[in-house]
Structure 1
Amino acid sequence: MKSDRLLSILLLLQAHGQLPSADLADRLGVSVRTIMRDVEALSATGVPVYTVRGPQGGIALLPGYRTDVTGLTADESRALFVLMSGSAHTDLGLGQALGSALRKVMTALPAAHRPDADLMSRRVIIDPVRWRGAPGPRRPDAGLAPFQQAVFTDRRLRLRYRRGRDNRVSVYTLDPYGLVNKAGVWYLVADHKGEPRLFRTDRVQAATVLDAPVRRRADVELSDLWEQLREGIDGVPAPLAVTARVRDDTLAMFLRVHVTDLAPSWERPSDAAGTGEGWTEVELRFRSLLAATALLAFGPTIEVLAPDDLREVMAQKARETAALYRDEG
């Protein structure tokens, strides 16, 4: 369509300033004569486009001319470039298309909006896939304002932070790279003494943005660090093999909750109809007995068959829970 072609010419000239007519024709798959007619049409609408003669000539826009063909506000431009992890688009076969679309949008953005949009794409990642193991309870955090301030103003950050492994509170001075939302939980990716670390924002007791400029390592991007840290967590083998049977009327929900805990070799039987009249055996992998006790959440609709030490832990916890509710009258 001619309107699409006119818009494409305008975007290309906004990006490059001047291009040979033959180059435009090749990019758009039309003849040079068609390009010249389109240039006349753009000029007639008031766009300051003109031709430059000679070996170095071509089609050009008046220097300094910009138009916001997208209609996006500054906030909308930033929001558009907060993307899900690249793997999500790649899985759908849309990785290349997404990159191409965003390059076109970036070209079309007003010059004043581009730096913020580019910075947003490099400082914030949305990863919708939850961790392979249980992520632990979500606690309210104090808000993301200090983290955003440090990330987008390139300043160091001091945290008072409760560690998950031992519940101890420590103070860290960090060089932040960006923020990651992992299945609804926000994390700060930062260097601590030159080493990459991951900090859950809901474990932060206090955050102070320092005046000192950030000390990021050269040529290191948030996306690279996130992949390294994510693989360091998800890639750890889960050595505890668990066999359990799940009541059929609960099986669908159980599989949704524990999809990341299923053994790679396990396949759902075709006869697991979910009628509640039978049980389906499942194979799972957990990192520890403690992690496996998350199965207690399904109560009597699941029974651990193996290993025996997990059965004993489950039975003991069930007895302790029942004792809390025992009728003493």
Structure 2
Amino acid sequence: MKSDRMLSILLLLQTRGQVPATELATRLEVSVRTIFRDVEALSSTGVPVYAERGRNGGIALLPGYRTDVTGLTADEARALFVLVTDRAHADLGLGRAIGSALRKVMAALPQPHRDAAALTRRRILVDPVRWRSGPPAAVADLGVLQDAVFTDRRLRLRYRHGRDDREASYTLDPYGLVDKAGVWYLVADHRARPQLFRVDRILAASVADEPVRRREGAELADVWDTLRRQIDDLPTGVDVVVRVRRASVRRFLSIYRADLSAPPPAEADPAQGGEERVEFRLRFRSLGAAQPLLAFGADVEVISPEPLREELARLAAETAALYSGGQRH
């Protein structure tokens, strides 16, 4: 579009100063004649632009002329304000710089884009540091969640919890959405208490007619930081390697999928049948948290760590001893 091209010329001249007409034509993929026609059109609107002829000539603006037009579309303006967490900028020594830069961009935005950009900054967050978890499932649609977040309305969810596959229904007061290294989370209050909901575990969602009831003064970045610290501060955990009889893989994954530290191997398809064993890697918070593996009996063999093997052997021996004395009277 001609208007977009003229705006591009204006922004290039503001950034570069004098620019040869041939370079502008190459950048914008038009002829030099078209560039001169656009310059004339800019001049007719009151922009102090002129052309200098000769070997060192080019197109330029009068010295000191600036415009506050950024040329950003509404979506481009919102995209700039989908912020990476303050922690990431601080790690790079850019904590103060990012705030200053965004204030300058905000001041230059047209007023219709300014409110949308400010709201986006408060409702969407990107945290690039990966948590240890199983591979994320594909997210079909964030539309309903965004609708609730940006219109400040309550949200109704049907949700499947990862550890035990339990399903539950919630009415939530959302603060926003966080992309945690490719895994999306909804940050919301449930009965005035902050909680995280993995988007790929949401079974159904609908926006309620009721306005949101966020805690006064609470913002997405602060609530996220609190919830993130609760998880980051957990003990490092124990890495466990197991071999599972193929016939029990489906039941094993229904219980322990959330504890996987690596994607299930390709040969883990239980439909193949057979008595072969499939290796899985898991992580538990402690040795004690891994003890329920014993409930699978001989269908699950712990390969490592050795202390867990020893503990399970001890528990199995105690259980065997309990039942080895014959029938109880």
How far apart are 1:236 and its partner, in Å?
A: 1.4
- Structure 1 residue identity aligned to 2:96: Q
Aligned residues: 208
Cα separation, 2, equivalents of 1:311 and 1:196:
37
Q: Which residue of 2 aligns with 1:249?
A: none
Alignment of 1:155-304 (within 5 A): 155-238=153-236, 240=238, 287-289=285-287, 304=304
1:74 aligns with 2:85: no
Q: Which residue of 2 aligns with 1:56?
A: none
Cα separation, 1, equivalents of 2:67 and 2:156:
42
Q: Which residue of 2 aligns with 1:307?
A: 307
Q: Which residue of 1 aligns with 2:88?
A: 88
- Structure 1 residue identity aligned to 2:227: L
Contact 1:69 1:108 in 2 (8 A): yes
Contact 2:186 2:199 in 1 (8 A): yes
Residue by residue over 1:39-61, the C-alpha shift from the partner in whole angstroms, topping out at 9 and shown as x without a partner, is: xxxxx957xxxxxxxxxxxxxxx
- Structure 1 residue identity aligned to 2:195: R
How far apart are 1:140 and its partner, in Å?
A: 2.9
Cα separation, 1, equivalents of 2:142 and 2:310:
39
- Relative to structure 1, the CA distance from residue 309 to residue 174 in structure 2 (aligned partners, 3 Å threshold; closer, same or farther) is same
- Structure 2 residue identity aligned to 1:186: W
- Structure 1 residue identity aligned to 2:190: H
How far apart are 1:138 and its partner, in Å?
A: 2.0
- Relative to structure 1, the CA distance from residue 209 to residue 104 in structure 2 (aligned partners, 3 Å threshold; closer, same or farther) is same
Q: Which residue of 2 aligns with 1:109?
A: 109
Cα separation, 2, equivalents of 1:149 and 1:101:
28
- Measured on the aligned residues, the alpha-carbon RMSD in Å equals 3.6
- Structure 2 residue identity aligned to 1:99: G
Cα separation, 2, equivalents of 1:76 and 1:82:
10
How far apart are 1:111 and its partner, in Å?
A: 0.9
How far apart are 1:183 and its partner, in Å?
A: 1.1
Q: Secondary structure at the match of 1:116?
A: helix
Cα separation, 2, equivalents of 1:98 and 1:170:
40
Unaligned runs of 5+ residues in structure 1 are 8-43, 47-65, 243-257, 259-284, 293-302, 314-329
How far apart are 1:309 and its partner, in Å?
A: 2.3
Residue by residue over 1:208-242, the C-alpha shift from the partner in whole angstroms, topping out at 9 and shown as x without a partner, is: 11111111111100000000001111111235488
TM-score (normalised: structure 1): 0.56
- Structure 1 residue identity aligned to 2:234: V
Contact 1:84 1:127 in 2 (8 A): yes
- Relative to structure 1, the CA distance from residue 206 to residue 309 in structure 2 (aligned partners, 3 Å threshold; closer, same or farther) is same
- Relative to structure 1, the CA distance from residue 310 to residue 239 in structure 2 (aligned partners, 3 Å threshold; closer, same or farther) is farther
- Structure 1 residue identity aligned to 2:194: P
- Structure 2 residue identity aligned to 1:109: L
TM-score (normalised: structure 2): 0.56
How far apart are 1:311 and its partner, in Å?
A: 9.9
Cα separation, 2, equivalents of 1:225 and 1:80:
22
Contact 1:197 1:229 in 2 (8 A): yes
Contact 1:141 1:203 in 2 (8 A): no
Q: Secondary structure at the match of 1:207?
A: strand
Q: Secondary structure at the match of 1:158?
A: strand
How far apart are 1:307 and its partner, in Å?
A: 2.6
Higher Cα radius of gyration: 2
How far apart are 1:182 and its partner, in Å?
A: 0.5
Contact 1:67 1:110 in 2 (8 A): no
Q: Which residue of 2 aligns with 1:149?
A: 147
Cα separation, 2, equivalents of 1:169 and 1:45:
62
Cα separation, 2, equivalents of 1:146 and 1:175:
14
Q: Secondary structure at the match of 1:208?
A: strand
Q: Which residue of 1 aligns with 2:126?
A: 126
Residue by residue over 1:184-215, the C-alpha shift from the partner in whole angstroms, topping out at 9 and shown as x without a partner, is: 01000000011001001110110011111111
How far apart are 1:146 and its partner, in Å?
A: 0.4
How far apart are 1:164 and its partner, in Å?
A: 1.6
Cα separation, 2, equivalents of 1:127 and 1:146:
22
- Structure 1 residue identity aligned to 2:229: E
Identity over aligned pairs, percent: 61
- Structure 2 residue identity aligned to 1:73: T
Q: Which residue of 1 aligns with 2:273?
A: none
Contact 2:239 2:305 in 1 (8 A): no
